[in-house]
Structure 1
Amino acid sequence: MKIGLIGTGWIGEEHARRLSGRISGAEVAAVSDIDPERAAAVAKAVGARVAADADRLIADPEVEAVVVASWGPAHAGQVLACIAAGKPVFCEKPLTTEAADGLRILEAEQAHGKRLVQVGFMRRYDAGYRQIKAVLDAGGVGTPLMAHCAHRNPTQPESYHSDKPMVDTAVHEIDVLRWLLGEEFATVQVVVPRSTAKRYPHLVDPQILLLETESGARVDVEVFVNCQYGYDIQCEIVGETGTVRLPDPAAPLVRSGGRAAYPLVQDFPSRFADAFDTELQEWVDALHAGLPAGPSAWDGYAATVVTNAAVEARRTGAIVPVDLPARPDFYKE
């Protein structure tokens, strides 16, 4: 399967290396980026050629499927171009930054008549989250009543602003909890505790996202992106008859100097490396099988609707309804 890659920043370069070195059944045929020198360097590393721009890459007859790893606001136009060309597209999150663009993608894909879009929500491919999903689907803790989550990063750059905890960070919890609980969110609220001093002055950090599902289950997500100590992802589902908790990554326990300790993961590439590999391998396998798989355009759209509502909730202090239409039959599993 010959893949075209749009965007050769950090995640794009990583995906290029995965597709060319760790994923079977695929090769990177062409890459494009707004920085031609960056595109040329990545292309050389994986034996691909450079396309002049994203539109020419998508139109290239040799490119059979496309990976979109560009800047978030560019995703909508590039995904729509892939649909118009009839080419499967794997789009890194977010599918779109605005919900209205997500609707355009849903309409275009349904008009095409076949699923082409998969969104890069890699947590669905993490072994720990998949184990939680298996427990919940088997009724192992009864009907879910609550979920408690934390998403902590050691630091963030100055460009990280106060909307990003919802749009770029908690979006992962929003998607994976929709998947784990099997239902949509109905309302969202954001509350703000005292901010850490270890942040840039323009950033509100931490923030706490409070969500209610359509059935009345309650979810809280702590987003703390300057926690200093490591990259720490936590998730616990509380059911009527028990709880299930996401395991921490395996690490050796060291006993020395009068204490016992184990190292903490420091970044998301290390924490979710295996999930990224599994995600792209299963996408390529699905392309060869000709069957839709993975998070759909609907999942990307629903996550954007929730994050847009969360941004409004933080700015206004209100409990904001999630204005999500009924899921089209086209996207029902």
Structure 2
Amino acid sequence: MAENLRIAVIGTGRMGSDHIKRLTHTIAGADVTGVVDIDAGRATAAAALAGDHAKVWNDPHAALASGEYDAFVLTTPGMLHYDVLMDALDKRVPIFCEKPLTADAATAREIVDAEAALGQRLIQVGFMRRFDAGYQRLRGWFEDGSLGAALMLHCRHRNPTSPPNFTDALMIYDSVVHEIDGVRYFTGEEITEITVRRGRASRGAGGQLSDPQQILMRTESDVLVDVEIFVNAAFGYQVHTEAVFEQGVVDIGGDEGAYVRTAGRWGGAVTPGFEQRFAAAFDTEFQGWVNTLRAGRAPDGPSAWDGYAAAACCEAGVAAQDSGETVAVTLGDKPALYR
């Protein structure tokens, strides 16, 4: 496809608006020519971000049926994904779906089976960390085996504050989901079990959350994983991973950027949020997706299976939160399309 991709963005909230700006001003080979949102005012404002040439829709299914777009970006809340994804599969239109794939593992599995029945990949799921340079370097150590077998992963995921009405379950579904996908990305294995441990809660959680928590996981080859999730860490946004191999240890996500000494002080800055920490990863993710589609190839980033596996692990994680027990993760057969 020589021309720019005509893209419609479904959902114009925080992520949708950010992606409209990215596709318009940073990504080559793409034009946002449609925006979809039930809120007409928000949709109109989002269309202006694309340079006032984007058509406004209030119904995603009408936009999908119009034939006016080469691909779609879906950024609505997860409970609204299922019908749109099924419609996109029915019309055989490529769609980039921000995580989660759907709101639960059962419907995510239905999406997987529907796409597998078509025999072609159309869905890419927005696990942007896979496109971070540090993540890709660390995966290389797992793949080349030069440090021996992987034994353990130690992960830290810290946010400055949590949004209003954030819940313990959302600590898994909205935050730890990234570590879940990261473990699968690094190791190339599925997660087989999850345990959640609660301890002393920070006063920053306002009595609403058991924050922080420790998530323990095991992979198919018995790599042990521990995750600290702390969503009211106050000081900034930090994602750090340490991989322990038989013959060495590799860290990524440490403090980066300028280290300044001035006026009797020394130090650097901590990123305030995920948008800044993973800005380059988002750009790489979308440029690769656009390049692949323009070349006439199927999306090759995180798949519907990856979205389903993450959903199943999140459900197991919340069950472990509630029960205090170790919960097994059961995925069922993996279709040949994703092997």
**SS where residue 163 of structure 1 aligns?**
helix
Q: Once the 2 structures are TM-superposed, how far is the Cα of residue 111 of structure 1 from its aligned partner?
A: 1.7
Mapped partners of 2:185, 2:296: distance in 1: 23
Structure 1 position 159 matched with structure 2 position 165: yes
Residues 173-212 of structure 1 show CA distances to partners (whole Å, capped at 9, x for unaligned) of: 1101101111001100000110001113222211111001
Counterpart contact for 2:156–2:228, Cα < 8 Å: yes
Please list, as runs of the form range in 1=range in 2, the aligned pairs for 1:134-283 lying within 5 A after superposition.
134-248=140-254, 250-283=256-289
Mapped partners of 2:77, 2:207: distance in 1: 25
Amino acid in the other structure paired with 1:4? A
Counterpart contact for 1:298–1:331, Cα < 8 Å: yes
Give the corresponding residue for 1:326. Answer: 333
Give the corresponding residue for 1:29. Answer: 33
Residues 37-78 of structure 1 show CA distances to partners (whole Å, capped at 9, x for unaligned) of: 000111122131101311111112111111000011111221
**SS where residue 205 of structure 2 aligns?**
coil
Q: Once the 2 structures are TM-superposed, how far is the Cα of residue 157 of structure 1 from its aligned partner?
A: 1.8
Mapped partners of 2:49, 2:189: distance in 1: 42
Residues 226-254 of structure 1 show CA distances to partners (whole Å, capped at 9, x for unaligned) of: 01001011101101111111043531111
Q: Once the 2 structures are TM-superposed, how far is the Cα of residue 137 of structure 1 from its aligned partner?
A: 1.3
Q: Once the 2 structures are TM-superposed, how far is the Cα of residue 309 of structure 1 from its aligned partner?
A: 0.3
Mapped partners of 2:325, 2:211: distance in 1: 18
TM-score by length of 1: 0.97
**SS where residue 125 of structure 2 aligns?**
strand
Amino acid in the other structure paired with 2:24? S
Counterpart contact for 1:140–1:242, Cα < 8 Å: no
Counterpart contact for 2:152–2:243, Cα < 8 Å: yes
TM-score by length of 2: 0.96
Counterpart contact for 1:5–1:30, Cα < 8 Å: yes
Amino acid in the other structure paired with 1:133? R
Q: How many positions carry a matched residue from both structures?
A: 332
Counterpart contact for 1:102–1:300, Cα < 8 Å: yes
Unaligned runs of 5+ in 1: none
Give the corresponding residue for 1:313. Answer: 320
Counterpart contact for 2:105–2:315, Cα < 8 Å: yes
Mapped partners of 1:304, 1:3: distance in 2: 27
Structure 1 position 17 matched with structure 2 position 16: no
Amino acid in the other structure paired with 1:163? A
Structure 1 position 128 matched with structure 2 position 134: yes
Mapped partners of 1:177, 1:188: distance in 2: 12
Counterpart contact for 1:211–1:218, Cα < 8 Å: yes
Mapped partners of 2:281, 2:257: distance in 1: 17
Mapped partners of 2:35, 2:263: distance in 1: 51
Counterpart contact for 1:141–1:238, Cα < 8 Å: no
Residues 96-142 of structure 1 show CA distances to partners (whole Å, capped at 9, x for unaligned) of: 12001011101111122210010000000001111111222121321
What's the C-alpha RMSD, in Å, of the aligned pairs?
Answer: 1.1
Unaligned runs of 5+ in 2: none
Give the corresponding residue for 2:46. Answer: 42
Give the corresponding residue for 2:89. Answer: 83
Give the corresponding residue for 2:64. Answer: 58
Give the corresponding residue for 1:300. Answer: 307
